[in-house]
Amino acid sequence: MNKVMSAQQAVGQIESGMTIGVGGWGPRRKPMALVRELMRTDVKDLTVVSYGGADVGMLCAAGKVRKVIFAFVSLDFIPLEPYFREARQNGSIDVMEIDEGLMLLGLRAAAWRLPYIPTAVGLGTDVVKNNPDLKVIDSPYDDKEWLAMPALNLDIALIHVDRADERGVCQIKGPDLYMDDWFARAAQNTIVSCEELVDTAHFHQGDEARYVHWERAQTQAVVPIPGGAHPSSCNPFYGFDTKHFKEYNVSAKEGGFDGYRAKYLSGTTEQDYQQAVGGLDAIRKLPLPVY
Amino acid sequence: MNQTVQEYSLAELMICAAAEAFRHDGEILATGIGLLPRLAASLAMKTINPDMMMTDSESYMLSDPNPVSGRTSHEGQAQESWMGFSRIFDNVWSGKRHAMVGPSQIDRYGQTNISALGGSYQQPKVQMLGARGFPGNSISHANSFFVPAHSKRVFVQDECDVVCSIGYNPERLPKGYSLDDIDIRMVITDLCVMDWNGPNHMLQLLSLHPGVTVEQVLENTGFEIYVPTDVPVTAAPTQQQLQTIAQLDPLNWRSKQLKDNPPGDRR
């Protein structure tokens, strides 16, 4: 089965009002090329589930978002994401603010086809108070109450990986896969962009298959886009683009998103974008972060 | 080796005081969020609690803490286990962890906020990070707080604007829980060291940094705290501690963490 398609074809499956999950973590291995492609469509009213970074900020700034389900939205070395902040402080988006671990449980519940997973996480905090749709339930086994974290069922998941074959076998060799495996499992339809499209024989070598973290049946579309995580990192290929993120952050105070969009997103393809940021070679040379 | 020295910065004093929070923890995962708490946890692992576990702040558990400055690659780090983000939660929910975090607001119950300030929840005046892992951390394991600028803006008079972590508030206690199920440990600020073992889990003063008065602490705290009759002075760093800190932070990034890098002894 050949699942390779263009970014436009893949993202064309996203419809207004859908719930989409975005893999990665803060400024790390975000499927930014797919996010940029999504910004070129007229889709709106999305619910976005993400360990958020510039993916969430840009989609908010571009008017694509009705609701964000999040535990944080941050660029890590720049703690506060400027355009998510703006959207919140304008009151222009709805939110479901939960714990990082609750999000994981919600994705697992969806993946395992459960309505909810019980947990102590969130009890006693405003996570419960500010989300009236989060139910607190009695246990059939003890006298305590528990939070019932509902399944976060995703229509679409967007994920960026190191390598994939045309059948959707995906490889991530970076130090962490974040929760990408759970995003893939929680979604009806998972769209993966990859640094390299490889033959299936690649995975037969040595221990390459050990870096495959979900089944190919969980991937419906494969989009080869080298450099597609920029300006976030794709360790071990490249680190995040500190300079670009700083400029992005400053743009919020100097004219807002329109200026950033005009400079970097006015082209019609990812190649235009990569040219605007100095080319794929420059992206591949971005140093890996050392924490 | 253990004699005290004259010259040390406030950052170094706070690192040493904060390291004490991990002394009796044994084999737990210690997580210091931010440079000074991370140095505190690293110092504790190198000196008073060698059984402690730490990560590289990315995805590996280390047998020996990494220096926080002066590294350009992961070469040579003593990694003993993979510890990616999803596995962090497995550890969190097992309870074998002690996190030291820097909340934006702390209230009289030990509840904290890093999410948003002011306005309404639908339209906050200031959006911050989001609740991150605070709800889960606070109900699962020990937590300590590190406050670089002790003020009424941090130690707020009323409840936190957004309560991100559970504290000793009877009104919010989940069914089947007692206040003793909550485990908030130390608070290290630029003025003093405190804990939550006052009467009815009140915040209580444990020690004052050299040159700081009880009045200064009270003036800068938005709620009543318990002050014992005798409040000692926070112990000065030893030579050995300062050497270890210097090894963990060869580029002295710690000197840039507090405004104007004040001396530890302000007498």
Pick left, alpha or beta for residue A132 (phi over 0 → left; psi -120 to 50 → alpha; otherwise beta): alpha
DSSP states of A40-94: TS----EEEEEEESHHHHHHHHTT-EEEEEEEEE--SSS-S-HHHHHHHHHT-SE
Interface test with A, best of B71, B122, B158, B253 (most A CBs within 10 A): B122
Nearest CA in chain B to A177: B84
Token readout for B99 is 């996190």
- Give the start-to-end residue ranges of the domains of chain B: 10-256
A237 touches chain B (CB under 8 A): no
Would you list the domain boundaries of chain A? 7-99+152-280, 116-150
CA distance A122 to A131: 11
CA–CA min distance B176, chain A (Å): 4
Task: Name the residue facing A100 among B56, B115, B132 (closest C-beta).
Answer: B132
For A44-102, what is each residue's pLDDT tens digit?
999 999 999 999 999 999 999 999 999 999 999 999 999 999 999 999 999 999 999 99
Contact B223, B157 (CB under 8 A): yes
State percent of chain B over pLDDT 90.
96
pLDDT below 50 — which residues of chain A?
none
Residues 6 or more apart in contact with residue A216 via CB below 8 angstroms: A167, A168, A169, A170
pLDDT at A291: 86
Give the angle A94-A97-A103 at the CA atoms, nearest 5°.
120
**Residue A259, min C-alpha distance to chain B (Å):** 23
The token pair that represents B227 in the structure block: 């002050």
Q: pLDDT for B153-205, tens place per residue? A: 999 999 999 999 999 999 999 999 999 999 999 999 999 999 999 999 999 99
Cα(A78)–Cα(A98) distance, rounded to whole angstroms?
A: 21
Are B164 and A145 an interchain contact pair (Cβ–Cβ within 8 Å)?
no
Q: In angstroms, rounded to a whole number, what is the distance separating the alpha carbons of residues B221 and B211?
A: 18
Enter the tokens of residue B145. Answer: 């707080």
Confirm or reject contact between A178 and chain B (CB < 8 A). Answer: yes
Query: Is A240 within 8 Å of chain B by CB?
Result: no
Q: Is A130 on the interface with B (CB under 8 A)?
A: yes
- What pLDDT is stored for residue B95 in this prediction? 97
pLDDT at B5: 52
How high is the pLDDT of residue A217? 98
Across the interface, of B123, B138, B165, the residue whose CB is closest to A91 is: B123
Quick one: CATH architecture of B10-256? 3-Layer(aba) Sandwich (3.40)
Position B1 pLDDT exceeds 50: no
Chain A environment of B74 (Cβ under 8 Å): 290
Confidence at B11, pLDDT banded by 50, 70, 90: very high
Answer yes or no: do B58 and A291 touch at CB < 8 A. Answer: yes
Task: Grade residue B3 by pLDDT with cuts at 50, 70 and 90.
Answer: low
Euclidean distance between CA atoms B34 and A96, whole angstroms = 26
Say whether B107 sits in a helix, a strand or coil.
coil
Torsion angle, alpha carbons of B35, B207, B151, B161, to 10 = 80
User: Across the strands, what pairs with A25?
Assistant: A28
Name the fold adopted by A7-99+152-280. Answer: Glutaconate Coenzyme A-transferase (3.40.1080)
Reported ipTM: the value is 0.95
Window 40-79 of B: residues touching A by CB (8 A cutoff) are 56-60, 71-74
By C-alpha distance, the chain B residue nearest A24 is: B85
**Chain B interface, best mutation among A104, A123, A177, A180, by max B CB count within 10 A:** A123
Rg (alpha carbons) of chain A, rounded to whole number:
19
